[in-house]
Amino acid sequence: MRTTTAERNGSDSTMSVGATGPGTHLAASLVRIMSHHPAALLAGIDVPTMHSFLSRCRITRHTRPQKIITQGDGLDHAYLVIGGAVEITVMDESGNCLLAHLSQAGEVVGEVELLSRRPCVASATVRAGSTLARFDKALLRAHVPAERLLENLSGLLHARLSRDNMLHLTALFCSSEDRIRRHILLLTTPDAPRTDISQTDLAAFTGCSRQTVNRTLAQLRDEGILRLTRGSITVLDRKRLQRLRAPTDGP
C-alpha cells in the first residue's frame, strides 16, 4: 500500500484498526453518527453490514491540517468523512490553486480514483478536528454488492455533474448575492441543512469579497432564513432561500 503524505509527516491518533475488540465498539458509535450523515457511496446496505464495514476501516482523528491526497498521484484507498471536513483543491500548470469543494460528514474522498485506477484529479487536505475512515477497494467490494456499488457511484457522479453545471451557470450569470445563496443551497440539503463553512471559505467558493459575504449572510440571518454560528451556516427556510433572486451584476 502506498504511504500517504499524512503518514509520512506523522500520523494522528488511530482510534480503530481491525474488526474485533475496541474497534467493534467504536464502529457501533460511528454507525449512530453516520445515521445523521448517510454516505451515498454506502447507500442500500443494512446496519449490520455498515457496522462490519466501519469496524474494519482505519479510523483516524486529525488534530492538525494534513494533506491526504496529492493531485496526479495514484491511490489505493479512499476516505469516508465521519466528522469535520476535507478541502478539495485543484492546481493548474501555472500554480494557480482553486478551492473546488469542501467534503463534509457522509461524503467520500478518492473513491472515483480508487475504483478507476486513474490519477487523482485534485488534492485533499483534512482539516484539524476531523475524523476519517480509510478503506481500500477490497473492503468496499466485500460490503457493497457490485450492482449496488455501480448504482451508488453513478448517483454520486450524477450529483457532482449537476453541481458543476449549476456552478458554471451561477458564475456566468448570477449576481454576487445569488452566487452566495446558491452555494449555500449546494452545500446543504433538506435533510442536512447545516454546513460547516467559514465566511472566508464561502468567499473563495463564490469569488466574492468577504465583506459581500458578510453583508449577504447578515441580511439572510435578519430575515430568518439562516442561522449563523462560528464556522457554520444552517438553512432555516430553504424555500425562501431558493426563491430569492437579485439583479445580475456580472460574474
What pLDDT does 245 receive? 62
Residues 19 and 62 placed together within one structural domain of the fold: yes
Residues 152 and 179 placed together within one structural domain of the fold: no
Looking at per-residue pLDDT, the higher value among 158 and 28 belongs to 158
Residues 144 and 221 placed together within one structural domain of the fold: no
pTM, full prediction: 0.71
What pLDDT does 27 receive? 66
Buried b (16+ CB within 10 A) or exposed e, 171-184: eeebbbbbbbbbbb
The residue type found at 174 is: C
Q: Rounded to 5 degrees, what are φ and ψ at 149?
A: -65, -40
103-145 tens-digit pLDDT? 888 899 999 999 999 999 999 999 888 999 999 999 999 999 9
Residues 199 and 135 placed together within one structural domain of the fold: no
Say if CB 16 and CB 57 are below 8 A apart: yes
187-245 tens-digit pLDDT? 887 877 888 888 888 888 888 899 999 999 999 999 999 999 988 899 999 999 988 76
Residues 183 and 153 placed together within one structural domain of the fold: no
Residues 35 and 117 placed together within one structural domain of the fold: yes
Q: How many domains in the chain?
A: 2
Which structural domain range is residue 237 located in? Answer: 174-243
Is residue 68 a part of any domain in this protein?
yes
34-62 tens-digit pLDDT? 676 778 899 998 988 988 999 899 999 99
Q: Rounded to 5 degrees, what are φ and ψ at 192?
A: -130, 80
What is the CATH number for 195?
A: 1.10.10.10
What pLDDT does 211 receive? 93
Residues above pLDDT 70, as percent of the chain: 84
